[in-house]
Structure 1
Amino acid sequence: MSSDSDAPAPEADPVARHTRSRRHLEDDIERDFGENLSYGAYLDLPTLLSAQHPRSTPAQHDELLFIIQHQTTELWLKLVIHELTSARALLAADDHRQALKRIARVKHIQASMTEQWSVLATLTPSEYARFRAYLATGSGFQSSQYRAVEFMLGNKNAAMLPVFAHDPQVHDELSRLLHEPSLYDEVLAWLARRGHAVPEEVLGRDLSQPYTAHPGVVDVFSRIYADPEQHWAEYETAEELVDLEDNFQVWRFRHLKTVERIIGSKRGTGGSSGVPFLRRALELTFFPELYDVRSAIQDLAPQGYHGGEGRG
């Protein structure tokens, strides 16, 4: 049995007891930067933190959340474009390992972007209604970086370009991406260089057009999936692409449900139908044969196994 003498003694100094969380600067920590670069200068925080301009009058508390949510998404999209640009170039140079490293990073970015919807979902319909009119015709549909990501992943659509006609620089950049190989185009070209029978009409197609599934590509992936050990690099790359698309669809779904939660069946601020428009996007696919091949793969039973129903 313990006695009172075994209990830890209370802190003798009440001031010390309430200041134990105070962090003291170490001797070598920089205090006078002079001409040296500081954290804030490196990140250009004065510019970044002054880029939020709520427009509601009188100012609505929740508008800052809406602005920062979308600005943060645009920053992540900038990094996604950076990584996908590198991944395409690495695949073109037959460096698939580094390309997969870039794709893996994109997958983690996608997870962060998806989780952000839970923050915006704290915005109630009545809170949003107080400043929605100040968005005027502004809409996420007009995000040029989001459109760039879709083009880079293969969802090519020249009909989207007129939306950006007001900004010649952005319009020209998207037009360039429209005519460049997508990530999937580079993967298929890489497979062909590794000796896989990717059809010539796929390799030589008009890159500005939406990709159309080809049974010959399904056959290529069927052979890869039938023998993963023999074609491990190709198999791993295919599965990374499936992860990428799966993450994108989860992001789209969370977007849909967040919008539905906040505005219901109202039309979007940019003129879209709102939720129905977002729901149709869930039917889009970047890498169609990677899903078609799942229906083509035959069940592989262990050697010597003959199947059949159990017998009593």
Structure 2
Amino acid sequence: MATPTTSPRLDFGEPTTPYTAYAGIDELHSLQHPRSKEPGERTFIVATQVMELLFAQLRQEWTLAQQALRADDLPAATAALRRGLGVQDVLVGSWDLLATMTPVEFSAFRPYLGEASGFQSYAYLHLEFLLGNKHERLLELYAGHPRVHAELAATLHGPSLYDDVAALLGRRGLTADAAGWTEVYRGGDDGTHHRDLALLGELLLDVAERVTRWRQRHLASVKRTMGAKPGTGGSSGLSWLRKAADQDVFPELWSARNDL
């Protein structure tokens, strides 16, 4: 006997649907304001806004991972990092929206950006600080925005994600350098210890690889759309992005590979 189907409810007696109200859809769709007639500008704005939301989500997951590491709750820490991997994958894929934009299309609206640059994103700066890429002078960007400045300063001066991993290893009697990770991967004296830490190490490398992929996609997209022109925010453009893309994330874990 066929199972009867029920049509979705259509009348809620409200000026909007529960979906629209819950997710703030009206507000979301009111946030795109292209300044040129180039259709690609709206794509650029949408991609930028999507990345901003994902940066904030990733910051939440990494912060939860830090809190769990401090509580010696490794399952909760690894769960947060795994959720973050999904966010990172979408972040990397977000470059697909911009990767095929031609130089002519980008040049048509680039002047409207003025000095605006993704480098100025405070959500992204939080992630860089959490990764240990800390530069005090970057706080100057938000000297006139007390709330953001205070939050960035707290992240800057607080432990990085790797600092909390190092503290966990220290409580286990291990160092957080290449030698310590070599011992973790080899399983200690009898080859059976530290399995949970070895899994954490591999998860951290998953995080590191995705950070590098995001940076590489950024570099490739900029190279394709604007070549070697200086960045809108005053950076050298490609050379600055290339330096970031070549920087290893969690270098101690990569160095341990040389000894295994």
Q: What TM-score results when the alignment is normalised by the length of structure 1?
A: 0.77
Unaligned 5+ runs, structure 1: 1-25, 199-215, 298-312
Q: CA deviation at 1:108?
A: 1.5
Q: CA deviation at 1:283?
A: 3.0
Q: CA deviation at 1:285?
A: 2.9
Partner of 1:261: 224
Question: Residues 257-284 of structure 1: CA distance to partner in whole angstroms, max 9, x if unpaired?
Answer: 0000000011111111111110011232
Partner of 2:170: 192
Cα distance in 2, alignment partners of residues 27 and 230 from structure 1: 55
What are the equivalent positions in structure 2 for 1:156-175 lying under 5 Å apart?
Answer: 156-175=134-153
Whether the aligned pair in 1 keeps the contact of 2:212 and 2:249 (CA below 8 Å) is no
Cα distance in 2, alignment partners of residues 158 and 283 from structure 1: 22
Partner of 1:179: 157
Q: CA deviation at 1:28?
A: 5.0
Cα distance in 2, alignment partners of residues 283 and 262 from structure 1: 21
Q: CA deviation at 1:195?
A: 2.7
What's the secondary structure of 1:130's corresponding residue? helix
- Which of 17, 20, 25 does residue 45 from structure 1 map onto? 25
Question: Residues 224-279 of structure 1: CA distance to partner in whole angstroms, max 9, x if unpaired?
Answer: 11226321011000111111111110110011000000000111111111111100
- Which of 109, 115, 118 does residue 137 from structure 1 map onto? 115
Whether the aligned pair in 2 keeps the contact of 1:66 and 1:120 (CA below 8 Å) is yes
Structure ID, larger Rg: 1
Partner of 1:122: 100
Whether the aligned pair in 1 keeps the contact of 2:219 and 2:245 (CA below 8 Å) is no
Q: CA deviation at 1:27?
A: 4.0
Letter in 1 for 2:199: E
Q: CA deviation at 1:95?
A: 0.8
Distance 1:127 1:85, change over 3 A: same
Letter in 1 for 2:22: Y
Cα distance in 1, alignment partners of residues 247 and 42 from structure 2: 32
Partner of 1:54: 34
- Which of 206, 209, 214 does residue 251 from structure 1 map onto? 214
Q: CA RMSD in A?
A: 1.6
What's the secondary structure of 1:32's corresponding residue? coil
Partner of 2:259: 296
What's the secondary structure of 1:66's corresponding residue? helix
* 1:34 maps to 2:13: yes
- Which of 110, 119, 127 does residue 149 from structure 1 map onto? 127
What's the secondary structure of 1:155's corresponding residue? coil
Whether the aligned pair in 2 keeps the contact of 1:256 and 1:275 (CA below 8 Å) is yes
Q: Kindly indicate which of the two structures has a greater share of residues assigned to helix.
A: 2
Q: CA deviation at 1:65?
A: 0.4
Q: CA deviation at 1:286?
A: 3.3
Cα distance in 2, alignment partners of residues 290 and 132 from structure 1: 40
Whether the aligned pair in 1 keeps the contact of 2:132 and 2:161 (CA below 8 Å) is yes
* 1:225 maps to 2:185: yes
Letter in 2 for 1:160: L
Unaligned 5+ runs, structure 2: none
What's the secondary structure of 2:249's corresponding residue? coil
Cα distance in 2, alignment partners of residues 62 and 195 from structure 1: 54
What are the equivalent positions in structure 2 for 1:92-103 lying under 5 Å apart?
Answer: 92-103=70-81
Letter in 1 for 2:164: E
Instruction: Out of 169-178 and 285-294, give the one that drifted further.
Output: 285-294
Instruction: Out of 118-127 and 38-47, give the one that drifted further.
Output: 118-127
Q: CA deviation at 1:169?
A: 1.6
- Which of 58, 70, 76 does residue 80 from structure 1 map onto? 58
Q: Percent identity?
A: 40
Q: CA deviation at 1:292?
A: 1.3
The number of aligned residues is 252
Cα distance in 1, alignment partners of residues 172 and 17 from structure 2: 47
Letter in 2 for 1:284: Q
Partner of 1:300: none
